[in-house]
Every structure is written in C-alpha cells, then in structure tokens.
Amino acid sequence: MYINFWYPVARSQDLGRTPLKVRILAHDLVAFRDQAGHAAVLSDTCAHRGASLSAGKCKEDGTVQCPYHGWRFDARGVCTRIPSIGSKTRPPPRARVDAYPVEERYGIVFAFLGDLPEASRPPIMAVNERNAYIASQDIRVMNTVQPRLTPPSRTKELMMPADKCILQYRDKLDEFRRQGWKLDMPAVQAARARGDTIFAIPCPARRVTRAWVLDEAPRLAPASSETSAVLQVAG
Ligand code: FES
C-alpha cells in the first residue's frame, strides 16, 4: 500500500452532516461535510485521548466534535475549541489531527492520502465508460484468482510480451517505493494487534510543522529496484 495518491473515500451522495468512518490503507479516517456542503477528510483519532471522531457530531461551525470530551476539529484538522479551557483560551498547536486534501469528481469524494505539496500531487485519473467496464471485469475475476498476491520475486512467474504493461506498472511501484511512499504494513498491523499505537497517514501540513500527537505511519526504507521478470516469447 502506498501513500501520496488520491483514494476514493465515499460516494458523494452518502456523505452528509453525520461523520462517516472509513478505513483506507489500514488507517481509520473520518469524512464529513460542513454546513456549506464542503467535504472534509481527517484522521479519525482525536489528538486528546484518542477517541474516534467519527463517533462524534458535525457542529454548526463546520467542525466535527469528539464524542469524549468535546474537542472540535475543523476541515484543516485544527482544534478550534476545547470545552475544559473555556472559549477565551486558544487550544495549543499540537491540538490538531491530519487533514487530507479533498476533491469530488464522478460522484465520488476523493482524498489525497499523503504529504506531497499541491504542485507535486498527481491528478485524479480521468475515468471513461470503457475503463470502468474493464475494471469491473477485472475485479470479478480477481476476486477468485489464486494466489491473490503478486509473488515476492519476479522470477516466480513467466511473462509474455503482451504482459509488458504489467512490468511497467511494477516498475512504477518500485519507483514509488524508492520515494519512500510504501507503507510498512507488517509494522502497522503489529501495532494494531498490540493495541498500543495508532498511526496517522502523514498529511501535507506535516511538512510545515512538527507539532503532532500521532506518529506517522511507518514506511519501508527506499530500496533499489527488484530484478525484472523473465520476458519470454511463447513457442
Ligand atoms: S478524546 Fe477527544 S476530546 Fe478527549
């Protein structure tokens, strides 16, 4: 799993003024709309004591309110109100959660899960009817294919010239790993199984401030390319 891409979060029609919990890349997120209808996607873990924001409420000031002690977070992930310190005291800088860029297209709410600045982000790919049909065909087949996962070594399969696009795709994945965008899923899952650590997928604001409560999701160290698969012409 890779950060720094646009991911579909919900159908536009399903997102309203009730916080919606979604799990993407093995991390919990909360999606909601403010009173003007703008969608927001945040890390679901409250910066105070770790409660799930998606169990809270959308408030009239465009925030989502934590169900535990009532802290409010706006679409930037900034805590705007802490009831216990009163309305005259500003929340501390670390009272914030990761907030992800959002775009709505094709009737879908997309969130950019990663920390790239806007100028470096890839665009949301155009979708046409033919591509959508091929994708749905592939999903039907892949639901039953075994093994489900790509072999760990490219020498454990036999590619044909027609499979070149697969290798090109994997070269891209290697490139993303070299950029440090591949999540260390065993480390994420081990922490989840222990129940002692919750990570956050880093958002763009982490590049400008170090004031965060949650640690960033662990990522694999950048590595060199894997060896290319054997490309053989059938005969
Ligand atoms: S855990 Fe969210 S306000 Fe306390």
pLDDT score, position 152: 78
Residue 45 DSSP one-character state: B
Tokens of 116: 């790239």
pLDDT score, position 233: 46
Distance of CA 3 from the midpoint of ligand 1 (Å): 27
CA distance 153 to 227: 8
Pocket-testing residue among 53, 68, 96, 97, ligand 1, by greatest number of atoms within 8 A of Cβ: 68
Span 137-146, pLDDT tens digits? 888 888 888 8
Distance of CA 173 from the midpoint of ligand 1 (Å): 38
pLDDT score, position 231: 52
Run of H or E including 174:
helix 164-178
pLDDT score, position 108: 95
Atom 1 in ligand 1: which residue has the minimum CA distance?
49
| Closest residue by Cα to residue 229 from 145, 173, 146 | 173
Which residues have CB under 6 Å of ligand 1?
46, 48-49, 51, 66, 68-71
Domain with CATH 2.102.10.10 in the chain: 5-114
Is 77:64 a contact under the CB 8 Å cutoff? no
Tokens of 2: 């890779």
pLDDT score, position 141: 85
Taking the domain 5-114, which CATH number applies? 2.102.10.10
Residues of the chain where predicted confidence (pLDDT) is lower than 50: 227-229, 233-235
pLDDT score, position 224: 55
CA distance 54 to 176: 31
* Rama region for 28: left / alpha / beta (φ>0; ψ in -120 to 50; rest): beta
